[in-house]
Amino acid sequence: MDDIFNKPLCELIDRRTFLKMGGAAGLSAMLAALAIKPSLAETIITDNSIKSDAIDYTPIGAVSPSTGAFTTLKADTDPVDEHGVGDRGFNDTRYLSDIVEDTTPQLGGNLDAQSNIIQGDVENNLNAMEFGSQVLGLMTDPRLLNVMCESPLSDMVTNGTFASDTGWTIGTGWTIAAGVAHHATGTGSTIYQQLGMIPGIAYRVQYTISNYVAGAFYISVDLGVNGPFRNANGTYTETTIPKTGANGVIFLTGNSTFVGDIDNVSVTPAYIDISGKLHDGQYMGTWTASDRLKQGKCWVLDPNGTDAYINLGDSDDFSFGDGSNDSPFTVFGLIEVVNGGVQRVISKWDDTTGSILAEWVVQFNADETLVLVLKDNSATVLCKRTTNTALSFGLHTYVITYSGLGGATAANGITIYIDGAEVASTTVNNASYVAMENLVVPVLIGTYENASGIISDFFLGDFGLTGIDAVEWSAADVWQLWQMVLAKYSENGVDLS
Q: From CA 320, how far away is CA 405, in angstroms rounded?
A: 11
**Collapsing DSSP states into helix, strand and coil, what is residue 38?**
coil
Q: Is residue 22 part of a domain?
A: yes
Residue 429: give the domain boundaries: 303-489
Residue 339 and residue 192 share a domain: no
Q: Is residue 160 part of a domain?
A: no
Q: From CA 205, how far away is CA 225, in angstroms rounded?
A: 13
Tens-level pLDDT at each residue, the chain (497 residues)? 333 333 332 322 332 232 223 333 333 334 444 443 333 323 333 333 333 333 232 232 323 222 222 222 222 333 333 333 333 233 333 323 332 333 333 222 232 333 233 333 344 445 555 677 788 889 999 999 876 544 445 678 999 999 999 999 999 999 999 999 999 999 999 999 998 776 666 677 889 999 999 999 999 887 667 889 999 999 998 877 777 666 788 899 999 999 999 999 998 776 778 788 878 777 777 666 543 433 344 446 677 888 888 888 899 999 999 999 999 999 999 888 999 899 999 999 999 999 999 999 999 999 999 999 999 999 999 999 999 999 999 889 999 999 999 999 999 999 999 999 999 999 999 999 999 999 999 999 999 999 999 999 999 988 878 999 999 999 999 999 999 888 776 654 444 54
Residue 319 and residue 264 share a domain: no
Residue pair 218/73 in contact (Cβ under 8 Å)? The answer is: yes
Our count of domains for the chain comes to 3
Q: Is residue 374 part of a domain?
A: yes
Beta bridge partners of residue 445, listed in sequence order: 310, 346
Residue 340 and residue 209 share a domain: no
Tell me how crowded residue 394 is: count the other CB atoms within 10 A of its CB.
Answer: 14
Strand order across the beta sheet in which 394-402 lies: 142-146, 463-469, 329-337, 394-402, 414-418, 421-422
Residue 87 and residue 37 share a domain: yes
Q: Is residue 213 part of a domain?
A: yes
Cβ density class 402-417: b for 16+ within 10 Å, e for less: bbbbbbeebbebbbbb
Beta bridge partners of residue 118, listed in sequence order: 45
Q: Is residue 465 part of a domain?
A: yes
Strands (E), 247-321: 249-254, 259-269, 282-284, 309-313
Q: Are strands 414-418 and 44-46 parallel, antiparallel or unpaired?
A: unpaired
Q: Is residue 292 part of a domain?
A: no
Residue 56 and residue 7 share a domain: yes
Residue 221 and residue 113 share a domain: no
**DSSP assignment letter at 371:** E
Q: What is the pLDDT of residue 203?
A: 77
Q: From CA 182, how far away is CA 180, in angstroms rounded?
A: 6
Helix 23-33 / helix 92-107 crossing angle, nearest 10 deg: 60
Q: What is the pLDDT of residue 56?
A: 30
User: By 3-state DSSP, what share of the chain in percent is helix, strand and coil, each rounded to 5?
Assistant: 20, 30, 50
Q: Is residue 495 part of a domain?
A: no
Q: Are strands 343-350 and 217-221 parallel, antiparallel or unpaired?
A: unpaired
Residue 379 and residue 485 share a domain: yes
Q: Taking the complete model, does pTM exceed 0.95, yes or no?
A: no
Residue pair 391/365 in contact (Cβ under 8 Å)? The answer is: no
CATH value at residue 191:
2.60.120.260
